[in-house]
Each structure stands twice: as C-alpha cells, then as structure tokens.
Structure 1
Amino acid sequence: MRTTIQSIRTAYEAGERFAMVTAYDYTSAQFVDRSSVPLILVGDSLGMVVQGNDSTLPVTVDDMIYHTRMVVRGNSNALVVGDLPFGVTAIDDDAVRAAVRLMQQGGCQSVKLEGGTSVAALIRRLVDVGIPVMGHVGFTPQSVHALGTRVQGRDEANARRILEDALAVQEAGAWAVVLELVPAELAAAITERLSIPTIGIGAGAGCSGQVQVWHDLLGLYEDFVPRHARRFRSLGAETVAALDEYAAAVSDGSFPGPENASTMDAATLARALDDE
C-alpha cells in the first residue's frame, strides 16, 4: 500500500523520523520499492545527475512529467513528490497548469516548489484546488545564480527571513517543507516552531526527516561528494569494475559461455543450412 500524506503526518506526530530519496526512472524506483524508504522526490536535480547540465535551470515541465511517470510505474509503496521546475512559478496560472499536468500525466501524489513568502499565495491556490504541496526554503537551487551554492541563514537577518519563509509556506497550506543548506541550529529551531514536518538536506539532524540524492548516497560519482551527503555505498567504483570485467571476458573469450546461449541439435542445423 502506498504511503500517504496522512501516514507521514501520523509518523511525524509520533516523533518518528523518516527518510526521503530522489529517484528518476523505473529502475531506481523499483530499488526504493524494495526498501523501507517511504518518500520519493522526483527532483529537478535530474538536470545535473541525469541530463548532465550544470544546474537545474534547463529542466522543463515535460522532463519532469516524463521522469515522474517512470518512477510511479516502478514504485507502488512510496509517496511520490514531483518538482515544479524553474520558471513555472513566476506566473500562477502557468504553475497551476504545470502542477495539474505533473499529477495527472506524471501520476505523483504531491508537488514541490521552491520559495517562501514570495510563493505563499501560489501554494494556497494549489492547495485550494486539491494539489498537495511540499515547500522548499533556505538554499533553493533554482535561484543558484542569485544565491550561489552556499549555506543560507548564517546571519540574523537571513535566519529571520528563512524562518518567515517556512512559516509562510506552512500558513499557505503546505504539508511539509524542505530546509536546504541552513545551519543545523536554525533548522532545529524552525522545526520546533512549525506544526508540519521539515525535511532536511544539509540542515543537520534536528529536522523531522532527511532527503538525499540517489547518486550521492550510492557513491555513483567519484569526484563529487557534497558535505551534506553520506556515501552509504561506493557503487560507482563497483560499476566501473564490473564493466572492466565484462570487457576483459569478451576479449579473452570467456563470455559468453555455453550457459549464456541457446542451442539447437546438429541435424536441425544441417537441414536448415541445406535448405538455404
């Protein structure tokens, strides 16, 4: 049975922490389906880790629908949240249309959008038409050119701004909010002041839950380990080793072996060749 917003709410009220992970296709979603992770984010981070761009900005609504649809096909247990990509929240009508498409065509159970006070009215409008919304404050990757990739809220004024953003998101009706790259002390204080779950990434252990990027926690990129990530496995090195072993086996003739091929009896083969 698929995780619901209400079941996450129940866990939150019981003081239980929960994990969220990104997934971008059918295969990754199937792995999550076999795990105990209850939440999937189809993040616009796919722009970097899947498409090879240097930011999330080139990701389109069609991209998000395409990847969300694959994830939903591959997972029947986790609650799937789809990102609204850069630009669509600038005009409310565009954002509503995009959110409707993401849920109807992509099949997710919630959308996520970046911003605080500036998007509060949009969140309220989405919630009013029946679209569950997860907020996202602190460092917002879609604002990378304005903010840079750095921790937000270190000084008093910016810490206050992030708190106000989180409160505005909650007041607008969001059911949860991501806190990204904010000091652990600030994230814990915000979590205490909110009545909805916070989901941290680079925000310390004081949040209600945590989210990590698929490629980071599995160690798929050897040359990039964000400070906020923990490499729980080193599958990048394992993958390269497997590919090298495969290439060597083809080269030395040990693959494919008899067990990797179908056979036919000699008489049938002879008759077939004679027929030619």
Structure 2
Amino acid sequence: MGAITVNTLAERRRAGERFACLTAYDASFARLLDEQGVEVILVGDSLGMVVQGHETTLPVTLDDMVYHTAAVARGARRALIMADLPFLGDADPATALAQSGALMRAGAHMIKIECGATQIPVVERLVDAGIPVCAHLGLTPQAVHRMGGYRVQGRDAEAAAQLESLAGRLEKAGAQALLLEGVTEGLATAVARAGDVPVIGIGASPACDGQVLVIADVIGLTPNPPRFARDFLAEGGSLAGAVRAYVGAVREGRFPESGVHTFS
C-alpha cells in the first residue's frame, strides 16, 4: 500500500471506511505506528504534557514542535504526518504561515490548528499557500484557561449551532479535515454527516470517519486516563499488539463505543 495522503483520507470517507490516528513524538513510536497500519500520525502539542511533564500544552514552542516532527518523519514511511501549530502560532496569518512552513519543512504533511471564527483567515492563507489544514474544534486545549478547564463542548443548543456553523465555514475556507474533541455525541454526529471532508473524533462520536487518541492512553501509561480513552495494551499483549488492536477496533467500528467513550 502506498503513502497515505489527504486524498486517501477523502477516499476513505467516500467509501465509508474508517481510519486510525495516534500521536507519536519520536522516531521509534512513529515506526511502530506506521508498521501497524496507523493512517495518520499526529505530532501533537500534547507532548507538553506527555513528554515534558507540563500541566497544559501552552509551554510547547515552535522549536519543540519542529524537533519532534522531524523525529517522527524519520521514523514513518507510509502514514500521513499531521503536526500541531503551537500556542499563538495562529496569532495572525503571517505568523501561521511562517510557523506552518517550518513544520512542513520538518516533515509534516498537514497542519492542525485549534480553531474559532478568528482562525478562518489563517486557514484561508495556509490553504492559498498549498498547506493542508485540519481544523480542530470543540474542546481546544490551548484555550483551557478561557474555557475554565477541560469541559465538554456543545451541550447547549446555541453553542452546538455555533460549532456546527463554524465547521461548515472552516470547510468552505479550505480545511481538508476537521477534528472534533470533547463534544457531545449528537453534535459530533451531525457535523460528521453534514460536510464533505473527513472528520476525526476524540471523545466525540463513532460516526466520525477517523478516531485519534494520545499514545500514552492506548498503552496504559496515563495514571488517570480520560473517559474517552481505552487501554489497548491489556488485549494486545505488547506495544505492537496494542496499536494493532486499536487500529482494528477503529476500522471495524468497535471503538469508540456510544455512551462509553462519548458524551451526551
């Protein structure tokens, strides 16, 4: 099988075929995920918490993201590599373009941006420059202080309508994928069915085209894992087995489970 591209993800959506995404921050884990069939490797700013030991993602710098993206790119051969734009990297279109360019040169194939309405011009500028964008909606960890913590989004009708509208506007702006985190299952299902681009979920809905988890949650390294996660190491028996079990469960629609790994 050839390299995974944004076109591959679009084709999977049209065919109704689910795909798996996991985070990685170094070459060894990137190679492992790649060999076990993970379609998308996310170099997440979650590295601030998982690797660096911070309480939030906010301390992560562009230099950190470039370093880890380059390491992942050296380990992966087939998977699409998606990299997070760090905190304030989307301050304006020019800043976003410069920082996204650095991540693309390091080996990223797609840039993920935590989005509100103010990020629409940023998305448009990156797309105009030929940079694929995944728009991250819902619970956006870089806005943790504004949100007052890691809270499920879209529980009231007005907030849900605003998020669904924003998803459509970001797709119109050129985003080639959406990522929904920590939103109600009904809202995530509506967004996933409304648009034309692939939708990746985490604590969202089984109706999403792809699913993503932080690798530490998949292999039992997180002391108090989030509700939407699942330890696949117990059933997989090894690191490779855990990743393989996760990929299989996502593709076969066995993960996430409605009401178990989702929110109402």
1:268 aligns with none
1:225 aligns with 225
Q: Which moved more, 1:111-120 or 1:123-132?
A: 111-120
2:81 aligns with 80
Aligned-partner Cα distance in 2 for 1:224–1:28: 22
Classify the secondary structure of the residue corresponding to 2:100: helix
Aligned-partner Cα distance in 2 for 1:10–1:88: 30
1:200-224 per-residue CA deviation (whole Å, 9 max, x = no partner) reads 0000211111001000011112x21
1:114-146 per-residue CA deviation (whole Å, 9 max, x = no partner) reads 013221111011000111101100010000001
1:191 aligns with 192
Aligned-partner Cα distance in 2 for 1:25–1:129: 28
2:68 aligns with 67
1:38 aligns with 39
1:56-98 per-residue CA deviation (whole Å, 9 max, x = no partner) reads 0000011000000000000101000010000111122111100
Task: Kindly report structure 1 stretches of 4+ aligned residues shifted beyond 3 Å.
Answer: none
Aligned-partner Cα distance in 2 for 1:198–1:53: 28
The structure with the largest alpha-carbon Rg is 1
Aligned-partner Cα distance in 2 for 1:179–1:195: 15
Does residue 125 in structure 1 map to residue 125 in structure 2?
A: yes
Classify the secondary structure of the residue corresponding to 1:100: helix
2:174 aligns with 173
Contact 1:116 1:164 in 2 (8 A): no
Normalized against structure 2, the TM-score is what?
0.87
1:132-180 per-residue CA deviation (whole Å, 9 max, x = no partner) reads 1011000100000011201000001110111122112101101100000
Aligned-partner Cα distance in 2 for 1:73–1:124: 29
Counterpart residue identity of residue 130, structure 1? G
Classify the secondary structure of the residue corresponding to 1:145: helix
Classify the secondary structure of the residue corresponding to 1:90: coil
Counterpart residue identity of residue 225, structure 1? P
Counterpart residue identity of residue 98, structure 1? Q
Matches within 5 A, 1:89-238: 89-104=90-105, 106-147=106-147, 148-221=149-222, 223-234=223-234
Aligned-partner Cα distance in 1 for 2:92–2:83: 19
Contact 1:117 1:164 in 2 (8 A): no
**Aligned residue-pair number:** 236
Contact 1:64 1:85 in 2 (8 A): yes
| Unaligned runs of at least 5 residues, structure 1 | 240-276
Does residue 27 in structure 1 map to residue 37 in structure 2?
A: no
Classify the secondary structure of the residue corresponding to 2:233: coil
Classify the secondary structure of the residue corresponding to 1:89: coil
Aligned-partner Cα distance in 1 for 2:101–2:192: 29
Aligned-partner Cα distance in 2 for 1:65–1:6: 24
Aligned-partner Cα distance in 2 for 1:62–1:168: 31
Counterpart residue identity of residue 9, structure 1? A
1:257 aligns with none
Measured on the aligned residues, the alpha-carbon RMSD in Å equals: 1.6
Contact 1:42 1:64 in 2 (8 A): yes
Aligned-partner Cα distance in 2 for 1:180–1:128: 26
Aligned-partner Cα distance in 1 for 2:215–2:162: 30
Counterpart residue identity of residue 25, structure 1? D
Counterpart residue identity of residue 225, structure 2? V
Classify the secondary structure of the residue corresponding to 1:40: strand
Contact 1:39 1:79 in 2 (8 A): yes
Aligned-partner Cα distance in 2 for 1:142–1:99: 17
Kindly state the Cα deviation for residue 234 of structure 1 after the two structures are TM-superposed.
Answer: 4.9
Counterpart residue identity of residue 111, structure 1? I
Aligned-partner Cα distance in 1 for 2:97–2:14: 30
